[in-house]
Amino acid sequence: MIRFLVYLIWVLALMTSGCGLGASRLKNERNYYNQAIQQTNDEQLLLNLVRLKYRDTPFFMEVSSVTAQFTYTAVADASVSVPEGMAGAFGFGAGVTVQEKPTVSYSPLQGEKFIQRVLSPLSLETIALLYHSGWRVDRLFSICLDRLDGIKNAPTATGPTPNQAPQYEDFDELLQIFNKINQKDLMELDFQLHEGLPSLVIHFDLKTVDDADLKKLEGLLGKTHQEGKLYLAMTLEPDFVRIETRSLLGVMYYLSQGIDIPQDHVAEGRVTLTRDTMGNVFDWKKLTGDLMQIHSSENRPGSAAIAIRHRGRWFYIDDTDLSSKSTFSLLAQIFSLQAGKIASTAPLLTIPIGQ
């Protein structure tokens, strides 16, 4: 009987330990869900980049909510039999089960949300916010800007792959000057209203900036600084440098142009071949090679940071390619920032994915 009482106390303690089990499950499961959502978001973004290169329709499914219910069940039983003339025989049994019932809600990105996040041009305030988040000015301007005044940053690359090579050389030279000045910490970028217009303001340290670099910059833009400041705005006013930003879709098209397409897909005409004025095939890596490289392979790559399968091939970003990973991270941040202030709607699809 003493053994029975001790065992019964142990079972009761186990049955009341639900709080401890719950805390333990939360610690583990939250990380699992976090990793799963982050990985699938990245894979979806990469998949849509590849789709754009093949002129397939991009599509986004957002995880609206994740609900996980845990059920704890503890069972204990005991029996005793004392046949006449024999010592008592005891029998014990106990068990604990934990059952998880996760429910994931998905919402297709369409309608007003699609327009705001995918088709609307990036705001100047977003550009300034990303700059102050630590992104290099040349990386930021390369993928986010379509042109500065008359200097074009491959505007034809922000849609389906063009037949003719884009104009980008002067803009590339402009970026090199900006980057040279920025790396010496001799410029700053801010967002403000100037003469009533939303503007990006570039401040130069006139005491130490190389005068030759500044004059070369002014020559390319066709504008002179105003007391060490250049004002960039979406206007044709003469005191401003006209700036045109890209939409998220334009940014994605631009980055998709340099994807490594299998030669048999090229030969079969599944993608557009871009040619220069001499009729030679244009190498898109001249624009995107330093920003992001997406490789293709018949077999699943072993050293991929992100990999997806599309049209019978694996497309991936190598885990050691830090520049490509940085640009991809910037793209993901732009996608998140473009969400803006949109009223939430009920999810259209709810699927229980397991028990």
Pair of tokens at residue 284: 């898109």
Residues 267, 273, 279: CA angle, nearest 5 degrees: 110
What is the rounded radius of gyration, in angstroms, for the C-alpha atoms of the chain? 30
Cβ atoms within 10 Å of 97's Cβ, excluding its own = 9
Could you tell me how many residues make up the chain?
Answer: 355
291, 49 Cβ separation under 8 angstroms? no
Handedness of CA 328, 32, 337, 119 (dihedral sign): positive
Asked if 231 and 209 count as a contact pair (C-beta separation under 8 A), the reply is no
Q: What is the pTM of this model?
A: 0.81
For 179-248, give the DSSP string.
HHHHHTT-EEEEEEEETTEEEEEEEE-TTTS-HHHHHHHHHHHT---SSSEEEEESS--TTSEEEEEPBH
pLDDT in tens, the chain (355 residues): 556 555 555 555 555 555 555 566 556 677 777 888 889 999 999 999 999 999 999 998 888 777 766 665 655 555 555 555 555 555 555 555 666 667 777 777 777 778 778 889 999 999 999 999 999 999 999 999 999 988 999 999 999 999 999 999 999 999 999 999 988 888 999 999 998 899 999 999 988 888 888 899 888 988 888 888 999 999 988 889 999 999 999 999 999 999 999 999 999 999 999 999 999 999 999 999 889 999 999 999 999 999 999 999 999 999 999 999 999 999 999 998 887 644 444 444 444 444 4
Nearest to residue 191, comparing CAs of 271, 128, 233, 99? 128
| Strand positions, DSSP E, the chain | 61-81, 89-108, 145-148, 151-152, 187-194, 197-204, 229-233, 241-245, 295-297, 304-310, 313-318, 349-352
- Count CB atoms within 10 A of the CB of residue 139: 19
Phi and psi at residue 203, to the nearest 5°: -100, 130
